[in-house]
A = this chain, B = another copy of it.
Amino acid sequence: MASSIAVCRVHMSLLNKLHKIETLLCRGVKTQHTAAAAQMKTVNKVKHDEKEKEGGKSLYDVQVERQQQAERSVLISCPSRTNKERFLKHLLKYGDIKTHFFYESIGVYAVVEFSSKEGVASILERASIPSVSHESMVPFKSRVLSLRNLDKISNQQSSIQLQPQSSASTNELIQRLSREKSFDQQITSLAESYQLTEENTRLRFLVCSLLKDVAAPFFPECTIKPFGSSVNGFGKMGCDLDMFLDLDGISGRKVKQPKLGLSLEYQMKMVNTERRVTQSILSVIGECLIQFGPGCEGVQKILNARCPLVRFNHQPSGLQCDLTANNRVAMKSTELLHLYSELDPRVRQLVFTVRCWARTHGITSKIPGAWITNFSLTMMVLFFLQKRSPPIIPTLDQLRDLADPEDKCNIEGNDCTFVSIPSKIQLKGNTETMENLLGEFFEFYGTFSYTNMSINIRKGKEQNKPEVSPLHIQNPFEISLNVAKNVNASQLERFVSLCRESAWLLQHAHDKSPSSLSGSGGPQPWGLATLLQPSQIAAIKRRTRTSQGPVRQTLKSWVESLK
């Protein structure tokens, strides 16, 4: 199998010639991704079906359902020694409970979803305002509560199981991957431990819903929706929560006026631009969070940014939050990524793997700057998958052509139309393994002609570069924009050279299959795990240089030969 994969790992320019051979060779490879997907363990305790049920649903439907779920939920801070049975028994006084789970933030918290909103109303009616001597409370009542245990301290054992709300550290991940039996299982396992859990997704929607409680008073018809990584299918545990205040539901706009007679209009503050409207609304919500929001810390009103936002840390959920308004293109972009992520499990797996690899080697960074962003990397993975033969995912133009009339969408002159229902899309039956795809990805971007060409997921083909930025990735909706405008030449160079080295390593490294325990008792890193060890590439290169002579020269001439 290794040799068949090695054959597959050639530069794209050779692909056409090799197409037939490759197809023949790959035919023998078991469709591991399907098997691997089936192996996915359900790590979550509550309603594990929920997340899977979402497959095949449009993001819109997912959002509506999740919002309703969130509106029936409360967030409760619990003493660390809480007894689960007593806790549930107490809560049943307020109404039937549909689901619940515990997690750790600053202290232990529980999310409790009631069967109906009445449960929430009942709890809010009966909860009390804490009285602490020498302190005063801002009496804003929200669905963030605290459980008090008035019994004398007992030696009662806590019986609660905490659901993790952040991803494993790189070291833990390496250990975990090293225990897997195959390269593709390693990739599945990585995606599994990075992707948002059912609980974490619920928590995100609950934070949106709590925030809606702050905004809705003024704008009863508004909704607050998560967008970006929280819902696009590519969110990593612990990623920031981007939210979007959607005011489009406000009625009374563009009402057909009678041509004659009297009519009534609202008196409203008039401002120059929609941007000023956004700033006004965010300013008030920011002020509310600063003054009232329980557990909202470090609130910043960043109103003069290109896209005005309110940033805050929501301590009860442990989420770093950004609230924007009127960011409709970003919402469309989220929908598109969500659609792609649902089409084939390999999309998500490859995105997670590449992003994890990139972060390990400092290609991406939490700090804004000239680094390649996760969004750019995701675009690169999608483009790469569109370029496979047969393609694993369709191009954006193909998705547009499949769109129903109700999918039609134009935002500020940009065509954002594409089909919304995944089941309408026919896939081409590509059966490549993840190991193969990862190697090919590195090779593809190790040898891409960045100088002349632009990456374009709308066409699924390189296009001539319209401007001189080192890396050009066309924004799929605002097509005059470059998603990777921030990337400078040296960062691109680092990325390219790491792609080349990783491609080379995947072909030449020795640790290509699971081995026995290492001396320290943990499993010996192998396969994908070695690629994620920060110093591994350099070390292997050093090792290979000693034993095999001037490796860099070999690597260089090999890469040259591919061009």
Chain A residues engaging chain B, CB cutoff 8 angstroms: 76-77, 86-87, 90, 123, 126-132, 134-142, 144-151, 214, 216-219, 247, 250, 252-255, 257-274, 276-277, 280-281, 283-284, 287-288, 291-295, 316
Nearest 9 CB-CB pairings of A with B: A217-B217, A128-B255, A280-B291, A267-B294, A287-B287, A137-B268, A138-B269, A90-B262, A129-B252
- Across the interface, which residues of B come within 8 angstroms of A288, CB to CB? 218, 284
Contact at A128–B217, with CB atoms within 8 Å?
Answer: no
Distance (Å) between the CB of A542 and the closest chain B CB? 54
- Across the interface, which residues of B come within 8 angstroms of A86, CB to CB? 262
Contact at B142–A264, with CB atoms within 8 Å?
Answer: no
Distance (Å) between the CB of A253 and the closest chain B CB? 5
Contact at B262–A147, with CB atoms within 8 Å?
Answer: yes
- Across the interface, which residues of B come within 8 angstroms of A271, CB to CB? 135-138
Complex CA–CA separation, A140 to B295 (angstroms): 27
- Across the interface, which residues of B come within 8 angstroms of A283, CB to CB? 287, 291
- Across the interface, which residues of B come within 8 angstroms of A280, CB to CB? 138, 291-292
Contact at B269–A77, with CB atoms within 8 Å?
Answer: no
7 contacts between A and B (CB under 8 A): A130-B265, A136-B277, A137-B269, A140-B269, A146-B266, A147-B263, A148-B263
- Across the interface, which residues of B come within 8 angstroms of A129, CB to CB? 250, 252-253, 255, 265-266, 268
Distance (Å) between the CB of A245 and the closest chain B CB? 11
Name, among A250, A266, A295, the residue most crowded by chain B CB atoms within 10 Å (CB to CB): A266
- Across the interface, which residues of B come within 8 angstroms of A266, CB to CB? 127-130, 137, 141-142, 144-146, 294
- Known contacts A141-B266, A281-B291, A288-B284: does B128 contact A272 (CB below 8 Å)? no
Complex CA–CA separation, A358 to B287 (angstroms): 43
Distance (Å) between the CB of A490 and the closest chain B CB? 42
- Across the interface, which residues of B come within 8 angstroms of A218, CB to CB? 140, 214, 217, 288, 292
Contact at A268–B130, with CB atoms within 8 Å?
Answer: yes
Distance (Å) between the CB of A295 and the closest chain B CB? 6
Complex CA–CA separation, A45 to B66 (angstroms): 55
Residue of B nearest to A150 (CB): B260
Complex CA–CA separation, A126 to B257 (angstroms): 11
Contact at B276–A139, with CB atoms within 8 Å?
Answer: no
Complex CA–CA separation, A214 to B267 (angstroms): 15
Complex CA–CA separation, A258 to B128 (angstroms): 11
Contact at B150–A264, with CB atoms within 8 Å?
Answer: no
Residue of B nearest to A258 (CB): B150
Distance (Å) between the CB of A5 and the closest chain B CB? 54
Contact at B261–A150, with CB atoms within 8 Å?
Answer: yes
Distance (Å) between the CB of A291 and the closest chain B CB? 4
Which one of B150, B268, B316 lies within 8 Å of A263 (CB-CB)? B150
Contact at B131–A268, with CB atoms within 8 Å?
Answer: no
Complex CA–CA separation, A29 to B201 (angstroms): 85
- Across the interface, which residues of B come within 8 angstroms of A250, CB to CB? 129, 139, 141
Contact at A144–B267, with CB atoms within 8 Å?
Answer: yes
Distance (Å) between the CB of A154 and the closest chain B CB? 12
Complex CA–CA separation, A259 to B76 (angstroms): 21
Contact at A131–B253, with CB atoms within 8 Å?
Answer: yes
Contact at B150–A267, with CB atoms within 8 Å?
Answer: no
Contact at A267–B128, with CB atoms within 8 Å?
Answer: no
- Across the interface, which residues of B come within 8 angstroms of A268, CB to CB? 129-130, 137-141, 294
Distance (Å) between the CB of A59 and the closest chain B CB? 25
Complex CA–CA separation, A269 to B288 (angstroms): 11
Known: A138-B280, A145-B266. 10 other contacts (CB 8 A): A128-B253, A128-B257, A129-B252, A144-B266, A147-B264, A148-B262, A150-B257, A266-B294, A280-B292, A284-B291
Which one of B138, B270, B287 lies within 8 Å of A277 (CB-CB)? B138
Contact at A139–B219, with CB atoms within 8 Å?
Answer: yes
- Across the interface, which residues of B come within 8 angstroms of A219, CB to CB? 139-140
- Across the interface, which residues of B come within 8 angstroms of A135, CB to CB? 270-272
Name, among A139, A250, A277, A294, the residue most crowded by chain B CB atoms within 10 Å (CB to CB): A139
Complex CA–CA separation, A136 to B218 (angstroms): 17
Which one of B141, B269, B273, B294 lies within 8 Å of A291 (CB-CB)? B269
Distance (Å) between the CB of A252 and the closest chain B CB? 4
